[in-house]
């Protein structure tokens, strides 16, 4: 599933489309997580004026309307031309005045293309916690959020109500680098640990964005370019391999239905 760095990278790769006018809209298959709006054709004639990211959503602003885009588990945007071969799961095509096409591709159809309106704002955006790279996500804030939580720290920092966008890859790497066991009760972390965790999450996410995100399967940005953060992974996906620090075999446990790789030597489970 594309995580925050992949969505940020995708948004950045779409910026060349800003100020271009939509010439036509083609829906090849409306069956996504929620159906593509039947009136999406009203984008025709409007310029794309702004692209922003909130959590794992891309917020696309046109002259009259705003849209909320989510990549789901397998979605991707691709900037193409009419001469480029269509793929089976290209569900939506926006054609701009210069002939450029923006194609949304989603084999598993868990993504969404919706109007950003009061309903979607209340349902999807309002419940979200702060952005991890913002000043609102700081040690004092996280300490208050965690002090009564008995769930494992990895589950806590992957909760979008606590902080958005800290997905499995980046939570695993942050905790490994700090020597914190993923199942350690969140409330048991000390204030210095929480400060270090906030700083490490910010560092990891910034570094991942610089490297274009992680291409583990078929993720590419809108220009078809791979990310390279996966080449730096020290824990995620390495269960059964040796720890780079102590050569103990990395282990895997399930937390919240997610694989959580850790080093039993470097990340001992500590409780109050």
Q: Are 108 and 73 in contact (CB under 8 A)?
A: yes
130 is an active site residue? no
- Exactly one of 11, 53, 56, 154 is catalytic; which is it? 56
Residue 128 is classified by DSSP as -
Helix or strand holding residue 148 (H, E): none
Distance CA(12)–CA(77), nearest Å, equals: 12
- Exactly one of 3, 6, 101, 173 is catalytic; which is it? 3
**DSSP-derived secondary structure for 10-60:** HHHHHGGGTTPBEEEEEES---SSSPPPTTGGGGTT-BEEEEEEETTEEEE
| Contacts for 35 with CB less than 8 Å, ≥ 6 apart | none
Beta-strand ranges (E) seen in 144-264 are 251-255, 258-262
2 is an active site residue? yes
- Exactly one of 2, 5, 130, 132 is catalytic; which is it? 2
5 is an active site residue? no
3 is an active site residue? yes
Nearest Cα to Cα of residue 12 among 170, 227, 156, 203: 227
- Exactly one of 54, 149, 258, 270 is catalytic; which is it? 258
Q: Which residues are catalytic?
A: 2-3, 56, 258
């Amino acid at each position: 599933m594309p995580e925050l760095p992949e969505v940020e990278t995708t948004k950045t790769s779409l910026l060349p489309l800003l100020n271009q006018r939509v010439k036509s809209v083609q829906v090849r298959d409306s069956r996504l997580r929620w159906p593509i709006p039947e009136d999406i054709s009203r984008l025709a004639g409007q310029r794309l004026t702004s692209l922003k990211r909130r959590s794992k959503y891309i917020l696309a602003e046109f002259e009259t309307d705003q849209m909320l885009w989510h990549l789901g588990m397998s979605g991707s945007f691709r900037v193409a031309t009419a001469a480029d071969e269509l793929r089976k799961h290209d569900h939506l095509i926006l054609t701009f005045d210069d002939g450029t096409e923006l194609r949304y591709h989603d084999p598993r159809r868990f993504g969404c293309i919706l109007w950003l309106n009061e309903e979607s704002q209340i349902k999807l955006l309002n419940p979200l916690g702060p952005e991890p790279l913002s000043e609102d996500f700081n040690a004092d804030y996280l300490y208050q959020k965690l002090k009564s939580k008995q769930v494992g720290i990895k589950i806590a920092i992957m909760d979008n109500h606590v902080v958005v966008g800290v997905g499995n890859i980046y939570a695993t790497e942050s905790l490994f680098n700090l020597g914190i066991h993923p199942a350690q009760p969140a409330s048991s972390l000390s204030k210095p640990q929480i400060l270090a965790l906030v700083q490490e999450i910010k560092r990891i996410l910034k570094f991942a964005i610089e490297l274009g995100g992680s291409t583990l399967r078929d993720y590419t940005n809108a220009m078809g370019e791979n990310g390279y953060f996966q080449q730096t992974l020290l824990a995620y996906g390495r269960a059964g391999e040796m720890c780079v620090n102590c050569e103990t075999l990395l282990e895997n446990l399930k937390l919240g239905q997610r694989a959580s790789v850790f080093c039993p030597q470097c990340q001992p489970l500590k409780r109050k």
